[in-house]
Amino acid sequence: MGLDERPSCLRSFPHEVVFVSVLSCAQLLTQAALGNVLVPLHIIGPDIGITNPAALPWTLAAYSLTVGVFIMVTGRVGDIFGHKRLVIVGYLMFSIFSFLTGLAAYVNNGIYFHIMRAFQGIGPTMLLPNAVALLARTYPAGLRKSIVFSIFGATAPTGFILGALFGSIFAQFLWWPWAQWALSIFCYILAILTYVIVPTELSLAVHPTGKTDIFGAIIGVSGLVLFIFCWNQAPLVGWDKPYMYGILIASIVIIVLFIVIEMKTQEPIMPLSIWSVPGFPGVLGCMSLGWSSFGIFIYYNVQFLEIIHHASPLLTTAMLTPLVVFGIIATIVVSQLYGRTPAHYLLMASMIFFCAGNILIATAPANQTYWAQVFVATMLTPFGMDISFPAASLVISNKMPMHQQGVAASMLNTAINWSISLGLGIAGTIESKMLKRGKTTLESYRYALYTGIGLSGLGVLVALLFCRVPKTVNPNDEEQTQVDSSSITTMDTAINADKIDNEEK
């Protein structure tokens, strides 16, 4: 399809611009909701009654947790009920709970804030897979589609910085809830625009009679939520409380029950046969290790700048802008490596970049200039993000049967977001333990970052030892399927979808 050929369902070029912009805001706002809380967190925390630093990671972990676990099913729900409908509902959910999150300033209760943040994360779980599915259904393979998905992927780091920018402006000069209420208004407007802009022919469900193991999905989500709850609650109450071990054991039992249910059901959310595909378990483990270390990096990088360097939220935002600049550079540079370098080497390289970022922050002296180590860490880490997504997708697409690539991609996205939440919980537990042992704030941050170093360092070994697969596809699997929203991961995976397809042919 030539660049000058517009899909017939889009009436004009302005219609196309608005269509792509409205759907790309799904990615942009998902990341903005992270930035508008993380960077001004030390202004928000005391205002909502959070005085214990160990409770602060919950503000991010609660959001990442729901984004990670519920995305397992929302894509499939979109296939059954219609992707346009799920995008509208997603924007409305995002709008409602962003508004309620802002009301935490009146409630003055940290638990309320964390619960609202968790519900706020359900909106993006509806938005991300279904927005990508609408774009994929609209554009056939070609240069125009590649450009559209590149735009969608580029909104991720931009959204984080924009969220941090406006969150910091409101927190420093007005009142932090206005960042949440502005996000709420914007999401409501986007819900209306989605209803008006998305063509009627894209409103139809892909699989209106499709069946999904909803009961198994509920069991699986419950187990994952309880497991993360333990690790993020432990820094607050400690593992010496007997009920913490009870919840942890209960979560493991529920996850085992989920596996048993998936073995018995005819249409499982997670077919167990995918674990026998060469390279898949290693890729999932590697990505989980790398992205859990990234969650630790981004959280403690901000803490280091604001608590140790005493930078304001606005100055911290400015110091984080290399994430956007070098993210774009990384995308351009790394795109030239696909097809030339084995995917497991690319995965290993991404883990090295994640590890290097944590090392640089963990070893940075308190009085050192920003440009010496923090800037370099912020410059290198985007390469970890922009290499890992497409490289993992390449390994999966080379060996995964066609009819299982969708669920594999959904699990990959789930593992990434879930592991960010888990990594923050583990690091927060270690930070809390170090503070109780008399360590300084800086020393406790460093021990938490050492956890990130260990996780990404282990990821290097996993990539090298367990992600090696031949660059071949399964020639016997000729099954062709329609576009399934669960088959498309967001950000860089979507950007490189056409390139991977071409390499397979």
Sorted by where each starts, the structural domains of the chain and their CATH numbers stand as 10-199 (1.20.1250.20), 213-268 (no CATH), 277-484 (1.20.1250.20)
Sign of the alpha-carbon torsion through 315, 319, 323, 324: positive
Model pTM score: 0.78
Q: Select the more confidently predicted residue: 187 or 10.
A: 187
**For residues 164 and 32, what is the distance between their CA atoms, to the nearest angstrom?**
7
Per residue in 352-366, pLDDT (tens digit) is: 999 999 999 999 998
148-162, 191-205, 350-364: which is most confident: 350-364
Whether 231 shows a pLDDT value over 60: the answer reads yes
Q: pLDDT tens, 425-476?
A: 888 888 888 888 888 989 999 999 999 999 999 999 988 888 766 554 444 4
Residue 501 confidence (pLDDT): 44
pLDDT, residue 473, reads 43
CA–CA separation, 364 vs 355, rounded Å? 14
Average pLDDT, the chain: 78
How would you class 134 by CB atoms within 10 Å of its CB: exposed for 0-12, middle for 13-18, buried for 19 or more? buried
Q: Which residue has the higher pLDDT, 494 or 456?
A: 456
What pLDDT is recorded for position 363?
93
Q: Is a pLDDT exceeding 80 seen at residue 368? A: yes
Which helix (DSSP H) or strand (DSSP E) does residue 420 occupy? helix 405-436
The string of DSSP codes covering 99-158 is HHHHTHHHH--HHHHHHHHHHHTHHHHHHHHHHHHHHHHH--SSHHHHHHHHHHHHHHHH
pLDDT above 80 (res 27): yes
Per DSSP, the residues of 368-401 read S-TTTTHHHHHHHHHHHHHHHHHHHHHHHHHHS-
Lowest mean pLDDT segment, chosen from 76-90, 254-268, 386-400: 386-400
User: Nearest to residue 56, comparing CAs of 423, 419, 452, 425?
Assistant: 425
Both structure tokens of 68:
């990670």
pLDDT class of 45 with cuts at 50, 70, 90: confident
pLDDT number for residue 217: 66
Kindly indicate the confidence band of residue 411, based on its pLDDT and cuts at 50, 70 and 90: confident
364: left (phi over 0), alpha (psi -120 to 50) or beta: beta
pLDDT over 70 percentage in the chain:
78
Residue 6 has pLDDT above 70, yes or no: yes
- The answer to whether 441 and 314 have CB atoms below 8 angstroms apart is no
